[in-house]
Structure 1
Amino acid sequence: MKNNKQRYLSIADIAGKFDVSEQTVIEWIKIGKIKATYFNQGKWDILESQFRTTSEQDHERRSNFKKLWNKRDRLPEENREQ
């Protein structure tokens, strides 16, 4: 059975996902580029489902990139593409 529980991301999560500042994410929310719910404690909840990739997919992508980069570092310099 599929888990229908909605997952939420923080401002910091989104900033990391897109490699931008937290202030940029807040601006995106203000102009409607990202949908979010604001709470009195200064916290934003952002539904993960509005993005094409999940946190797990993002983590896997970063992990795979890191593995490939490490393999590149082990190649002789003359075999590396710049």
Structure 2
Amino acid sequence: MPNIKSAIKRVKVSETKTLKNTIRKSALKTTVKKCKEAIASGEGAADAYKATTKAIDKAAAKNLLHKNTAARRKSRLAKALNAAK
């Protein structure tokens, strides 16, 4: 545990940010999972894909994902969506 006041604050800020990032990552994974299920079932796949793409873009904007990782995930989902049609 740090003794210096600024170091104590940094620990608190770090814990808060870690928690928020964990929540955001979990929500993103849930959205992707729902999209994959929608593509597999064929019901509402286009809407689910659109929502998932938006969520992935937001995650990349917040530096939760690297931009190339985001592009790869969107590409794979689009490929799966087109294959299912």
**Bin of the TM-score, shorter chain as denominator length:** 0.3 to 0.5
Q: Which has the higher strand share?
A: 1
**TM-score scaled to structure 1, two decimals?**
0.33
